[in-house]
Amino acid sequence: MEEKENLITVNIDGQDLQVPPGMNMVEAAAILGKEIPHYCYHPKLTIAGNCRMCLVELGMPGRDRATGEPMVNKDGTPKIMWMPGPAIGCGTKAAPGLHIKTDSPKALESREAVTEFLLINHPLDCPICDQAGECTLQEFSSSHGRGYSRFIEQKNVKPKRTRLGPRVTLDDERCVLCSRCIRFCDEVAGDSVLGFTDRGSYSTLTCFPGKELANNYSLNTVDICPVGALTSTDFRFKMRVWFLKETNSIDFETSVGVNTVVSAREGTIYRVKPRRNDQVNDTWMPDSGRELYKQVESDDRLIQCTIDSLATSAVDAIAKASECLQGGGVAIVGSGQCSVEEQFALKAISDGIGAKGVYLVARYGKDDGILMSVDRNPNVRGALMAGLVNDLPDEQLGELGAKIDSGEVTTVFSVKEDLIAGGLTEDQVGKVKIIYLGTHENTTSSLADVLIAGLTQFEKSGTVINQQFRLQKFSRVVPGPGGAIEDLYALATIQANLSGESFPSTVGSLWKQIGTEGSVFEGISFQSLSDQGELLDGSAFEHFSFREGKSLHFEPKKEALAIE
Amino acid sequence: MPIVIKRRPLNFLEKLYLPEIARGLSTTFKKIWEKPVTLEYPEQRPTIPEGYRGVPTLVKDPEGREKCVSCQLCEFVCPPKAIRIKPGEIPENSEYAHVEKGPQEFEIDMLRCIYCGMCQEVCPEEAIWLQNQFSLSGYSREELVNNKEDLYELGGTLPDEHFKWRKKKEAAEHGSGH
């Protein structure tokens, strides 16, 4: 928000409102809780003003032409000169003394006319349209529509199943030509592939010749499409949106920590969509993060705890793991995929048994400068702040390999990390006793002496710390499979077995311990943590050379850049 | 306060008792010669009035196209949650590809169904109808869950007055002057 002195007064439906200069009227009316219907306007895109749905009446205080003096009514109030025609709300910027009417008969009549025009060629196939239930055209047709059609001519027919790219399917008949998708590709994704061809009611959204909508942000066009024209090929015809229960989550793909909302019905996840957070991801998310839900029901999912490859209960597996960890010569391989709470519990275990080493496996990928950062672990900073590790992790577990070879380490407790993929040889892994807590099959899980089947991010709650040192929480979307056990519960029980004292085993109760005085987490509790997250003081880690480059709302520290 | 119903006292003839017996028996003997009002169910079946709400069924249109487009409104509106639908896409090589969407699986659990008829009322495609069948039984719970094949067998064909999808296909084939 701007400084208080810079605010100017506008008048919306007779109510005075203080807004920063230049704010558009759709946003200003929203402050007063008034909705100006719109299709083409999107808060994070430039203003196109082509849907004409947000028509309002507009007036300014009049001035006498001859003298230039402000005109006044008989009672001394400024005389408002109303424009003869309506103007679009999204293209009208706040100016001192600006008056608008959002619900006057003229404004409503204008919007009804626009709605009637939009519906002329609309196929009205709501029963088969995936957008039904979250469609603004549907909503505004019921609030501003006529209820019957005066159009007796034949409707335009356009292609219904156009493949725009590997993940996006276009139904041209439903398009209202708002151009949000075109602007998104130009302005945010930086990949101009969409445009309109033909004129008038024959206008059609198409890809440029020889191009396709294949960038890693293509599904955002589906999210911002106000109607059902752009549909996700993955979600197409899978489930009606009114059945879906939505839960706030975080994209675990990279250290950006994109805020998401996950839609599920009866224990099955159907889609992942971005959630607005103006400090992290605006309203966007990468396509790759939307696929992550498929891990929940993948074929290689671990759904049974085992000891020496024999199925057992989680309770027995945890007891056996605790026994193995008491033997000494233990090294711990933690993970940047774990939540802060799990890393905290793991830290307690490693302190308790005097671990010979605590390692993390770094994952680095290509930076796209938008919402995919170099660091592909969502919570390396969490491990640093929980005190699990003291330095940035390496991509290889070379040091651990050397310790195994020298015989210093005889037991490895790995949480979510495949040791072979982490750079150990099968020979080295064969030499030591392996305790593995994970969700999916890999070489380590097949070699593990004790295997504890854990939960994916969608089946548990917790927090992660992103590249800005923003603590963000994610919540349980669906219950986990029967044979698996919550990671935090497993770690807390192991710690309780080892120490002989109780250890909080739920996220809420553990936060009472994490958020104690003196720590960087002071005053924070899981319950009170807002959905927008909370920025933590990361100054203690400023000297580390984090590899993340610039992204949407993130500027890397200058020192870190200098080191690179 | 209990409600007290005042009864008319018996008059003299009624008090005599015998005339009343004769009156009762005369009614009995009159009815013996009349057409019976009861039916010998199940050999005899009643005529089902129009608008009767029997077992819900799925119907096809006269072309043989399944009318349901799996919009799942019936599943949503069903008060006892008896309906389960798995929507699917109609493949592009199908004759009815222009409809795009149809049910892959459609189940109505008749142990849950309360015959309220809301599914029929809400259906935008006139695909689900509560028809004449009122009596059904089975040896197991599974038997009483009607799947898609059962529902179409029960439903049969119903006239379609709109042919909205055929008109749409024709419009697409003939173009719109562009």
- Mutation pick from A125, A174, A232, A241 vs chain B, by most beta carbons of B within 10 Å, is A125
Does B129 map to a domain?
A: yes
Does B10 map to a domain?
A: no
Instruction: Please state the domain extents for chain A.
Output: 4-113, 126-243, 305-502
Tokens at residue A453, please? 């089947």
Q: Smallest CA–CA separation between B177 and chain A, in Å? A: 9
ipTM for this prediction: 0.84
Q: Is a pLDDT exceeding 90 seen at residue A403?
A: yes
Does B84 map to a domain?
A: yes
Q: What DSSP assignment string belongs to A180-194?
A: HHHHHIIIII----E
Say how far apart CA B124 and CA B99 lie, in whole Å: 14
Domain that holds residue B132: 56-155
Say how far apart CA A371 and CA A288 lie, in whole Å: 11
Does B51 map to a domain?
A: no
CATH number of A305-502: 3.40.50.740
Please state, in angstroms and as integers, the Cα–Cα distance from residue A55 to each residue in A22, A109, A111, A140, A402, following that order: 18, 9, 6, 13, 71
Does B121 map to a domain?
A: yes
Does B50 map to a domain?
A: no
Please give chain B's pLDDT, 178 residues, in tens: 789 999 999 999 889 999 999 999 999 999 999 988 889 998 999 999 998 999 999 999 998 999 999 999 999 999 999 999 999 999 989 999 989 999 999 999 999 999 999 999 999 999 999 999 998 899 999 999 999 999 999 999 988 888 888 888 888 887 654 4
Question: Any chain B CB within 8 A of the CB of A552?
Answer: no
Say how far apart CA A79 and CA A379 lie, in whole Å: 59
By three-state DSSP, how is residue A273 classified? strand
Q: Is a pLDDT exceeding 70 seen at residue A2?
A: no
- Mark A350-386 as b/e (b = at least 16 C-beta within 10 Å): bebbebbbbbbbbbeeebbebbbbbbbbbbbbbbbbb
Q: List pLDDT tens digits, range A138-192.
A: 999 999 998 888 988 888 888 888 999 999 999 999 999 999 999 999 999 999 9
Residue of B nearest to A153 (CA): B176
Confidence class for position A558, pLDDT limits 50, 70, 90: low
CATH number of A4-113: 3.10.20.740
B71–A242 CB contact, under 8 Å: no
In this prediction, residues A490-519 reach a mean pLDDT of 92
Going by the DSSP 8-state scheme, the letter that residue A143 receives in this structure is H
Say how far apart CA A451 and CA A308 lie, in whole Å: 8
Q: For residues A51, A54, A55 and A61, what is the CA-based torsion angle, rounded to 10 degrees?
A: -130
Q: List pLDDT tens digits, range A15-32.
A: 999 999 999 999 999 999
Q: Does domain A126-243 have CATH number 3.30.70.20?
A: yes
Question: Any chain A CB within 8 A of the CB of B69?
Answer: yes
- Mutation pick from B83, B168, B169, B174 vs chain A, by most beta carbons of A within 10 Å, is B168
Q: Is a pLDDT exceeding 50 seen at residue A220?
A: yes
How many distinct structural domains can be found in chain B? 1
B125–A127 CB contact, under 8 Å: yes
**Contact, A485 vs A318, CB < 8 A?**
yes
Q: List pLDDT tens digits, range A418-439.
A: 999 999 998 999 999 999 999 9
Question: Any chain A CB within 8 A of the CB of B178?
Answer: yes
Q: List pLDDT tens digits, range A516-552.
A: 877 889 889 999 999 999 999 988 898 888 999 999 9
B171–A161 CB contact, under 8 Å: no
Q: Smallest CA–CA separation between A168 and chain B, in Å? A: 15
Does B4 map to a domain?
A: no
* CATH code, B134: 3.30.70.3270
- Mark A172-205 as b/e (b = at least 16 C-beta within 10 Å): bbbbbbbbbbbbbbbebbebebbeeeeeeeeebb
What global pTM score does this model have? 0.89
